[in-house]
Amino acid sequence: MRIFLDANILFSAARNDGPMRQLLRELQAKAHALVASAAVVFEARRNLEAKSTVAAVNFLDQLVAEIDVAPYAPGSVAAALTDWLPDKDQHVLAAAIRQHCEILVTGDKAHFGSGYGKKFAHVLIVSPRMAADILLNAHSAT
């Protein structure tokens, strides 16, 4: 399955060896294709450079080498699919749609939270915990 990663996911995975990094390892181990856009990688790198360590930036570079990073490619994605998001976040969902991803993982509950569990075109938007539940069966439903 193709899984698009938002900048906050890349940031968290690069910043420390915690749950987000473990989630990405497990997704890779299950042969899921991890995808991001050049704009998302740029945002994660900019935030890491401002808020974290050189080691975190270096880890991001290693992670980026292991995933499919799509170059910036504006294309026609129906505005109705993304106009519910703030302008600064519309490119994330649009890139996931253009890259034929089935899932978009984002921890941005403030902007994407109302879309959690919903499909836009063929892309299901999920939180990291939802991704683990759906893709790894890591948590049982209660």
Query: Which CATH number characterizes residue 69's domain?
Result: 3.40.50.1010
Instruction: Provide the domain count of the chain.
Output: 1
- Name the nearest CA neighbour of 24 among 39, 8, 43: 8
Q: Are 47 and 40 in contact (CB under 8 A)?
A: no
**In a domain? residue 39:** yes
Please report the pLDDT score of residue 66 as a whole number.
Answer: 96
**In a domain? residue 141:** no
Local confidence band at 10 (pLDDT 50, 70, 90 cut-offs): very high
Backbone angles phi, psi at 5, to 5 degrees: -110, 125
Torsion of CA 47, 82, 117, 115, to 10 degrees: 70
Q: Are 21 and 54 in contact (CB under 8 A)?
A: no
Q: Are 21 and 9 in contact (CB under 8 A)?
A: no
Give the mean pLDDT of the chain. 92
**In a domain? residue 102:** yes
Give the mean model confidence (pLDDT) for residues 75-100.
88
Return the bridge partners of 36, or none.
Answer: 69
Residue indicated by tokens 């984002």: 106
**In a domain? residue 126:** yes
pLDDT for 37-65, tens place per residue? Answer: 999 999 999 999 999 999 999 999 999 99
**In a domain? residue 89:** yes
Local confidence band at 78 (pLDDT 50, 70, 90 cut-offs): confident
**In a domain? residue 6:** yes
Q: Which two tokens stand for residue 111?
A: 């902007």
Single-letter code of the amino acid located at 45: R
Q: Which two tokens stand for residue 125?
A: 């938007």
Q: In angstroms, rounded to a whole number, what is the distance separating the alpha carbons of residues 137 and 141? A: 9
**In a domain? residue 142:** no
**In a domain? residue 53:** yes
Whether 138 has a pLDDT exceeding 70, the answer reads: no
Give the mean model confidence (pLDDT) for residues 20-31.
96
Whether 142 has a pLDDT exceeding 60, the answer reads: no
Give me the domain span that covers residue 51.
Answer: 2-73+80-136
